[in-house]
Amino acid sequence: MKLLLDENLSRRIVPFLQTAFSGSSQVALLGLEGANDSEIWQ
């Protein structure tokens, strides 16, 4: 399972989550900061 963290959550959490949930990321790290929900979903 992958997790995608909201931009309001710190990106510093991602490395800790990746040990249990590889492929997890945060919205801003993917260049989707400020995007609406439907853009993120796609």
CA–CA gap between residue 36 and residue 12 (Å, rounded) = 22
Percent of the chain with pLDDT over 90: 79
pLDDT attached to residue 30: 93
pLDDT at residue 42 tops 90: no
Domain boundaries, the chain: 4-41
Contacts of 6 (CB under 8 A, 6+ apart): 26, 27
pTM: 0.75
pLDDT attached to residue 18: 93
pLDDT in tens, 11-31: 899 999 999 999 999 999 999
Tokens representing 31?
């260049």
pLDDT attached to residue 20: 94
pLDDT attached to residue 27: 93
